[in-house]
Amino acid sequence: MSHCHVCGQTLPPPLYRSPHAISITSLCEVLPQRVAVAFCAACGHLQTDALADLDAYYDRDYKILIGSADEDQFYAMVEGRKVFRTEHQVNTLLAKVHLPDGARVLDYGCAKSSSLRRLTELRPDIEPHVFDVSDMYLPYWNRFVRPENCSLYTPNPEWANRFDLITSFFALEHVADPRALAKTVAGLLKPDGLFYCIVPNVYANTADFVVADHVNHFSAASLRRLMEDAGMQVVSLDAHAHNSAWVLVATRKTPATPKSPAPEEHAGLEQQARDLAAYWSAFADRVRAFEATHPHAQAVAIYGSGFYHDYFYP
Ligand SMILES: [Zn+2]
């Protein structure tokens, strides 16, 4: 029996199970296991069963963009110019958050922390700090963060109430205990500090539903609940600033009267989740039916080089 990562309620049986023991991670690795996704009606959270050994996976096997310091992901073409993910993330952050002079900033669960590195180039006055659960990114941190401002596996206990800003770029979707993470973040913020967080929005990008290592698929309701239970309050939640993602800004200030998620806010979510389950349950059959209508095709090109490519042709 599993429990909701966000509100702790017992989860009902999964509304989706992949038909075969094969799944794909966000880094396009093919794993010999099924994906099962359950919906929590209490808080509006969607949750995937965790990989067998999650801690070891992120310590040793999860190697995102570690080919070089500058390896990045294409984000979009803007007025004829290629914009990469890091540039977009930092521009969005600076548009949403006022950073005081000399601000102490922590990138939490940061991997290479290219966004914080870029931020320090634009704002050399800030004092960067990094934390992650793997030591494989140390060579990248050492280029722009002082050694005493780096923490591995557990955040430095001296960091309590220290930060003006804590960032989390596409990390919370991987974490089996986001409640603990949010509470830790709240304890590291100054009383008026801000938590800035980006996670995928499965309701905008349906592929997120079947990504094996995305154990959390947040809704606006479940993000709010997560923040409030950790003693934080949502300042803004934006579904449009970053493609197919939620951009959340929260403050440590506790609301005068804690606001439990409004039921009407996620009344339609369960049906949307069931629609996603139906879409992916029939997906492979639709592809096979299409292939059957083109039996004489000589060459096949798959448009899209990442997750969808591997889903079609692992
Ligand atoms: Zn829940």
Assigned token pair, 76 = 């979009």
Closest CA to 243 of 207, 277, 214, 271: 207
User: Residue 193 C-alpha to ligand 1 middle, in angstroms?
Assistant: 26
Sign of CA dihedral 204, 209, 211, 217: positive
Stated length of the chain: 314
What is the 240 CA–ligand 1 centroid distance (Å)? 24
pLDDT for position 203: 95
Centre of ligand 1 to C-alpha 226, Å, is 9
- Asked if 224 contacts 237 with a C-beta cutoff of 8 angstroms, the reply is yes
Ligand 1 mean position to 239 CA, how many Å?
A: 21
Q: What is the pLDDT along the chain (314 residues), one digit of tens a residue?
A: 689 999 999 999 999 998 887 788 887 778 888 889 999 999 999 999 876 665 666 566 656 555 555 666 777 877 788 888 888 999 999 999 999 999 999 999 878 888 999 999 999 999 999 999 888 888 888 889 999 999 999 999 999 999 999 999 999 999 999 999 999 999 999 999 999 999 999 999 888 998 888 999 999 999 999 999 999 999 999 999 998 999 999 998 766 565 655 656 677 899 999 999 999 988 888 888 888 888 888 777 776 666 666 776 66
Between CA 288 and CA 185 the distance in angstroms is: 46
CA of 100 to the centre of ligand 1 (A): 35
Q: Residue 254 Cα, ligand 1 centroid: separation in angstroms? A: 20
Alpha carbon distance 99, 46 (integer Å): 33
Residue 167 in 3-state DSSP?
strand
What is the distance in A from the centroid of ligand 1 to the CA of 43?
A: 4
41 Cα: distance to centroid of ligand 1 (angstroms): 7
The SS3 assignment for 196 reads strand
Please tell me the predicted confidence (pLDDT) of residue 81.
Answer: 81
Cα dihedral 275→276→280→286 (10° resolution): 50
Element (H, E) at 96: helix 85-96
What residue ranges define each of the domains in the chain, with the CATH number in brackets? 1-253+266-314 (3.40.50.150)
Q: What are residue 129's DSSP bridge partners?
A: 106
Q: 273-309, pLDDT tens digit by residue? A: 999 999 998 888 888 888 888 888 877 777 666 666 6
CA of 185 to the centre of ligand 1 (A): 20
158 Cα–ligand 1 center, Å: 32
* H helix or E strand, kind and range, residue 284: helix 283-292
